[in-house]
Chains A and B, each alone.
Chain A
Amino acid sequence: MIPSDHFVRYYNEVFKVLQEMGEEHLVAYWQELGRLQITALAERFRAGGLQAVYDYWERIRQEENCLGTLTLTEDYFEFQMHRCPSLSKAQDNDATACDRYCDHCMGWVQPLMEEVGLHAAHDIHSRTEPHCCLRVYRSAGEAVEFEREARLLCRPYMEAEERGIQLVKRPANPEESEE
């Protein structure tokens, strides 16, 4: 058993394996993570809106031992991460951290929020420092306003397209799709 405490270090190795095979495979894996999270969370978020988003990340803040502040307003949810446990573990590691480690977060958050009609914007500040600010808005326009102020905006799918990476259209479960 890879302990749950060490999951992110394993995850980081998977990112590097896929990245070495081609960036398109890493991007496709983020899409798969999004699909997994849609399965687990979309119904809850669709029914409960921003309050459900807040409740989910409050549980994550506790279980993953995050140092961060959660805020809920009428218009948005905010997770101001002061010390990200995920990047911190990827860095406190005898293996090296994937240079696009932080992108996995928006990699699953964006498809999930699109699925439930919300709009995520993520200022990761830096890819080597474990702090960031994630906001989830009701309004697409307000999310864009927040993105204009970002120090380092994380938009992995748009960036992949801009870098000419062909997104792989891969069925999540080929065995099921063959039926």
Chain B
Amino acid sequence: MNDPTDTPTRLRYRETGKLHMDFHRTINGTIGYLRKNFGREVLDAGFRRTAHDVYRAIWDELKAGDTRQLVEHWRYFFGREGGEFEITEDGDEIRLTVSRCPAIAYLQREGIAIDPDFCRQTIVVNAALAEETPFEITTEVLGNGRCVQTIRRRHDSE
């Protein structure tokens, strides 16, 4: 089996070493705190800034019509955290099908109540990454740690 840490990379961030999965608990708590006290606009502001500023390298490449760093980011980090997923390409569409989200699996294993907006981190980051690019990136949450994330070229961008 290939070790993803051995392959050449175009990733701006590519951590190695051990994982502190309990950070998913703090994200879960933070999401609930921000929504309940300030509403979704403030909750989403943190995700949007993460997409545009932290993931600037991915966003810049998407603006230039290049999806490769985002796809490598998906493959590397879902693999590193032990997720079960498949990435498929069909024409202008790239699809990430997650059958076991490692973040959700961790919270379930620890008996932590999952905030109803937990998956908003994925939905909003994907939507923000697609802004000003020739792509739309959709997130279909299927429940119980399953989702489908799809990058497709916008017809109006052609």
Q: Is B24's CB under 8 angstroms from A170's CB? A: no
Counting contact residues on chain A (CB < 8 A from B), the size range is 35 or more
Q: Is A4's CB under 8 angstroms from B81's CB? A: yes
Q: Is B24's CB under 8 angstroms from A4's CB? A: yes
Q: Is A17's CB under 8 angstroms from B49's CB? A: yes
Interface hit among B50-58, B63-71, B129-137: B50-58
Residues of chain B in range 15-31 having any CB-CB distance to chain A below 8 Å: 15, 17-27, 29-30
Contacts of B50 in A (CB 8 A): 2, 6, 9-10, 13, 95
Interface flags, A141-174, vs B, CB<8A=1, else 0: 0000000000000000000000000000010111
Interface Cβ pair total, 8 Å cutoff:
111
B7 within 8 A of A: no
Asked if A63 meets B56 with Cβ closer than 8 Å, knowing A4-B81, A14-B34, A172-B33, the reply is no
Residues of chain A in range 2-35 having any CB-CB distance to chain B below 8 Å: 2-11, 13-14, 16-17, 21, 25, 29, 32-33
Q: Is B23's CB under 8 angstroms from A95's CB? A: no
Q: Is B25's CB under 8 angstroms from A94's CB? A: no
Asked if A29 meets B46 with Cβ closer than 8 Å, knowing A5-B13, A94-B53, the reply is no
A140 within 8 A of B: no
Which residue in A2, A17, A36, A92 is a CB contact (below 8 Å) of B125? A2
Residues of chain B in range 117-141 having any CB-CB distance to chain A below 8 Å: 121-122, 125
Q: Is A40's CB under 8 angstroms from B30's CB? A: no
- Compute how far the CA of A8 lies from the CA of B27 in the bound complex, rounded to whole angstroms: 10
A1 within 8 A of B: yes
Interface flags, A95-133, vs B, CB<8A=1, else 0: 110000000000000000000000000000000000000
Which residue in B12, B23, B29 is a CB contact (below 8 Å) of A94? B12
B47 to chain A, nearest CB (A): 8
- Compute how far the CA of A13 lies from the CA of B101 in the bound complex, rounded to whole angstroms: 23
Q: Is A14's CB under 8 angstroms from B15's CB? A: no
Number of chain B residues close to chain A: CB under 8 A: 44
Interface of A is mostly: helix
Contacts of B18 in A (CB 8 A): 62-65
Which residue on A lies nearest to B58, using beta carbons? A94
- Compute how far the CA of A159 lies from the CA of B24 in the bound complex, rounded to whole angstroms: 30
A7 to chain B, nearest CB (A): 4
Contacts of A8 in B (CB 8 A): 23
Asked if A7 meets B27 with Cβ closer than 8 Å, knowing A62-B18, A172-B33, A173-B32, the reply is yes
Residue among A33, A94, A95 having the largest count of chain B Cβ atoms under 10 Å: A94
Q: A interface vs B, CB < 8 Å?
A: 1-11, 13-14, 16-17, 21, 25, 29, 32-33, 36, 40, 60, 62-65, 92-96, 170, 172-175
The 6 closest A-B pairs by CB, nearest first: A95-B53, A7-B23, A3-B77, A63-B20, A5-B15, A94-B56
Q: B interface vs A, CB < 8 Å?
A: 12-13, 15, 17-27, 29-30, 32-34, 36-38, 42, 45-47, 49-50, 53-57, 77-78, 80-81, 83, 101-103, 121-122, 125
